């Protein structure tokens, strides 16, 4: 027979999850859908069914809330992917237009604290420098729940995920569910999250999607990155 302690723990856990679900329904933040005017381009994604993931058996309220938040995003993932073209982008616009690709020091897979490896490239620039989308796509998530702090996640063609983090601020008016083009302003360079002790920079990560596990796998974006073409008035100078 379950002990009083285990029953109390289970009850508390369900209360926390219920609060998380209620908060999501109340605010709508983590359940944003793509703009209704966007057509379905790849209908097969509409029936995406991700494997069920169980909440951590032990953990504080914050970790349980984080689990619920991730689940709410997964619940709308198929709806987002269905509104994206199938063909992946073979070239990625430099997300910090004032920086050249040749200026990036390749740190992909470099060792990081806690036994992690670096899943992206860092683009150093002064605080407040504009950060733009490397591709067309949908703003899937805007939140500070990641290690890198203030972040924007864009889903692009071919179910790829583009991750922009350590932002100083978001672009005014940017919102989840919004369609963006390559070059759309997303935010500004900063050193939020675990970059607090480093010079301001953008961490730019790119991930391929595995529909079997519903997980995204990082790969090195540097070989695909290209410099922003100068504006006509710049080219004539």
Q: What is the pLDDT of residues 130-180, one digit of tens each?
A: 999 999 999 999 998 888 899 999 999 999 999 999 999 999 999 999 999
Given 35, 56, 81, the domain boundary residue is: 81
Query: Rounded CA gap, 133 and 181, in Å?
Result: 7
- 158 touches 87 (CB < 8 A): yes
* 99 and 160 share one domain: yes
Residue 236 lies in a domain: no
- Residue 148: inside a domain: yes
Helices 4-27 and 61-75: angle between axes, nearest 10 degrees = 50
Domain count, the chain: 2
Beta-strand pair 215-219/201-210? antiparallel
pLDDT at 6 over 80: no
How far from the centroid of its chain's Cα atoms is residue 40's Cα?
22
Q: Tell me if 170 is assigned to some domain.
A: yes
Is the confidence at residue 183, as pLDDT, over 90?
yes
Instruction: Tell me, yes or no, whether 101 and 205 share the same domain.
Output: yes
Instruction: Check residue 18 and give its pLDDT.
Output: 38
Kindly state whether residue 87 falls inside one of the protein's structural domains: no
| β-sheet bridge partners, residue 180 | 137
Report the CATH number at residue 195: 2.70.70.10
List b or e across 198-228, with b for residues whose CB sees 16 or more CB atoms inside 10 angstroms. eebbbbbbbbebeeeeeebebbbbbebbeeb
pTM: 0.81
């Amino acid at each position: 027979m379950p002990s009083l302690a285990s029953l109390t723990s289970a009850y508390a856990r369900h209360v926390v999850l219920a609060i998380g679900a209620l908060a999501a329904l109340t605010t709508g933040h983590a359940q944003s859908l793509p703009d209704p005017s966007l057509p379905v381009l790849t209908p097969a994604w509409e029936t995406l069914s991700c494997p069920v993931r169980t909440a951590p058996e032990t953990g504080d309220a914050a970790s349980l809330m984080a689990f619920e938040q991730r689940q709410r995003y997964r619940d709308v993932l198929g709806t987002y992917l269905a509104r994206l073209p199938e063909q992946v982008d073979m070239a990625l616009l430099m997300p910090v237009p004032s920086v050249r690709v040749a200026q990036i020091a390749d740190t992909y897979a470099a060792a990081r604290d806690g036994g992690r490896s670096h899943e992206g490239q860092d683009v150093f620039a002064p605080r407040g420098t504009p950060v733009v989308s490397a591709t067309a796509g949908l703003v899937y998530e805007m939140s500070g729940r990641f290690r890198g702090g203030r972040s924007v996640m864009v889903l692009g063609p071919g179910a790829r995920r583009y991750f922009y983090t350590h932002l100083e601020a978001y672009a005014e008016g940017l919102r989840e569910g919004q369609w963006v083009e390559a070059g759309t302003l997303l935010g500004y360079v900063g050193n939020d999250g675990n970059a607090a002790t480093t010079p301001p920079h953008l961490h730019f990560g790119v991930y391929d999607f595995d529909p079997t596990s519903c997980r995204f796998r990082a790969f090195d974006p540097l070989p695909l990155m290209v410099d922003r073409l100068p504006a006509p008035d710049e080219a004539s100078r």
